[in-house]
Structure 1
């Protein structure tokens, strides 16, 4: 035992490796890098108050009985103050978090978060708001004399969700890191808790003790270096895990960079294939930039609409979100540009057709990282 008042030194890199090796013993993942993600996610739950943000972990599989629940069982032993459940109500989750931070582990979310299920929209709103510190929900509670009064309850907490292809809204998906489970092979051990419970408890206690030794160092990681293209929602998802990774030493910091770069490449590939399209306003500005002739300072709405249809017919020749299935036309284009950028159409010449000026769109393109026209 170390002298009273002094904490014993813990080998962070070895601890990280031990957590990864523990998970690998009992589950099978499609991509070995997912084991690193799981490790960092488990560790970050013990420091989430200092990190002030937390990515949702979405655990999917290519087939039933691939170990999703098994993984949650192990996370239930290793994460900070876990709450494991197959369902959760919008009223219960904030109540759980009212008194102390907890790690929420939701199983069978393909059923629990079905869009047509009562209360799901409210629960999704809580999950979306709780990815960073300050997230809250207002509930009406009974006060003195039986009158109902509003009470602000926190929603900030780490959340892992397991399920077979759940239909989650884009906002929830974009805040989630996805891993994919595989059916276990011969080298995957059975999770016999009668035999391994004490060993798991020992590993949990080592994680908790490590977290106490590094807690004061977490603020120093707030400016941790990220790959250049890790911005916006990607940064929101990955920064917390990178901050934890650097506490595990240089090798784990480099591992986190590898994970982030892979996520960036995957994000780009999904966008190019149309799997993960940007919001309609961003898509519109990107396509307008692509079709705008460099030599033109003004383009009529009709010509722009025709160019967009020729450039990206799969997107603009059908309904994208709110309107019916008619092709893009000048009137609809004007409405979409106004909604996306608060830019109104003008006449290039007196009594000429209405359209848009390049100088009005250049600031938006610049903020999106697109070169000036």
Structure 2
């Protein structure tokens, strides 16, 4: 299942040691877990422990799918191994409507992760200062994130910090005054971070996130009422055991290199590598469950992904060219503006024109030129050959 290189730090794409090292001799069903125990660290069965965490969270949260619950448990476990990772996926708990259980997910998460910082409307400066203390690094849980990113101007400082903190070693520079002198400092931003909010988040954050899309409970769906005084001791026992288990597997986790599904590469490997490593080290049903969850999440994200404006322009031009080897600028603009549902009739209040078309295509190395038409005229236009490289790089393979 895994491949471990003791001379190489795997970082964002770590792996597993297999069932033997993960104590998976007696696999336990993910849905039939026992009550919490308090064994010594050496005797903790990682798979059985994750099963119990899964069962605990499932009592209070109506997950949209089994894959979502698996992802949540693995994200919680990965937060106990932060010094083993080169990158840490963000956890984005989103929904289209209020009252869908987002805050409950963060509340349960806060009970099980190390040094939780459950926050609403905290300033970027406050979070940055807390995170920069890497010896006492918090797990940041930011609720109602839509109140920040749902605004027209958003919050670029917070977005930059969230994006930068995804990788180990990233810093944010600050200036401060000391006895009349301007001094500089570099503050580290690496920390596990979960967010809850309505709608979507900026694309740069979504691409770094494990996304759980919550929804309102349907008729017949129910969740146990969470009562802190009753349930927090149970969560504390699980948290202590998870910390002990994480400490016992740390040296393997930091050099592990997971075998990832074929559809997961590049940033997807950074996002899912740590979670799949945790699953591999736990063993039993968890390695397969983690890969199913990862594959489902990556393929679903690709299917629902909206192309950039530039990619949409390339796709539309590809369609309008048909079998022609050249098109005049005027003809191309006319075809783009024929579709009332396309964005070309309203780009920030203006229709696309020859100048805007040229500017957008220049980003892809495509320029207009004087072309000779069959009737002998020589207007400005575009040759098909100019688009070949861009179409190959930025459009789906099927085109």
Question: Which TM class, normalised by the smaller chain length?
Answer: 0.7 to 0.9
Partner of 1:197: 232
| Residues 231 and 278 of structure 1: CA distance in aligned 2, closer, same or farther (over 3 Å) | farther
Kindly indicate whether residue 318 of structure 2 is the aligned counterpart of residue 289 of structure 1: yes
Structure 1 distance, partners of 2:115, 2:207, is 25
Q: Is the 8 A contact 1:138 1:152 kept in 2?
A: yes
* Post-superposition offset of 1:213: 1.9
| Residues 43 and 287 of structure 1: CA distance in aligned 2, closer, same or farther (over 3 Å) | farther
Report the structure, 1 or 2, having the larger helix content: 1
* Post-superposition offset of 1:316: 3.8
Other structure's SS at 1:30 match: coil
Q: Is the 8 A contact 1:362 1:372 kept in 2?
A: no
Kindly indicate whether residue 83 of structure 2 is the aligned counterpart of residue 49 of structure 1: yes
Partner of 1:364: 390
| Residues 89 and 18 of structure 1: CA distance in aligned 2, closer, same or farther (over 3 Å) | same
Query: Out of 121, 130, 144, which is 1:87 matched to?
Result: 121
| Residues 280 and 239 of structure 1: CA distance in aligned 2, closer, same or farther (over 3 Å) | farther
Query: Out of 362, 372, 391, which is 1:338 matched to?
Result: 362
Q: Deviations over 1:83-111 (max 9, x none)?
A: 11112112111211122232100122233
TM-score, length-scaled by structure 1: 0.82
Other structure's SS at 1:91 match: helix
| Residues 314 and 113 of structure 1: CA distance in aligned 2, closer, same or farther (over 3 Å) | closer
| Residues 64 and 370 of structure 1: CA distance in aligned 2, closer, same or farther (over 3 Å) | closer
Task: Name whichever of 203-212 and 59-68 sits farther off.
Answer: 59-68
Partner of 2:105: 71
* Post-superposition offset of 1:21: 0.8
Alignment of 1:157-196 (within 5 A): 157-163=191-197, 165=198, 168-176=201-209, 177-183=211-217, 188-196=223-231
TM-score, length-scaled by structure 2: 0.77
Q: Is the 8 A contact 1:61 1:180 kept in 2?
A: yes
Other structure's SS at 2:234 match: helix
Pairwise CA RMSD of aligned residues? 3.1
Structure 2 distance, partners of 1:201, 1:290, is 59
Partner of 1:96: 130
Partner of 1:325: 350
Aligned residue pairs, count = 353
Q: Which runs of 5+ in 2 are unaligned?
A: 1-39
Q: Deviations over 1:120-162 (max 9, x none)?
A: 332222122222223322222233x242322111222221112
Kindly indicate whether residue 368 of structure 2 is the aligned counterpart of residue 348 of structure 1: no
Q: Is the 8 A contact 1:86 1:112 kept in 2?
A: no
Partner of 1:246: 280
Q: Which runs of 5+ in 1 are unaligned?
A: 1-5, 272-276
Structure 2 distance, partners of 1:50, 1:351, is 66
Partner of 1:138: 173
Q: Is the 8 A contact 1:226 1:239 kept in 2?
A: no
| Residues 194 and 7 of structure 1: CA distance in aligned 2, closer, same or farther (over 3 Å) | closer
Partner of 1:107: 143
Other structure's SS at 1:131 match: coil
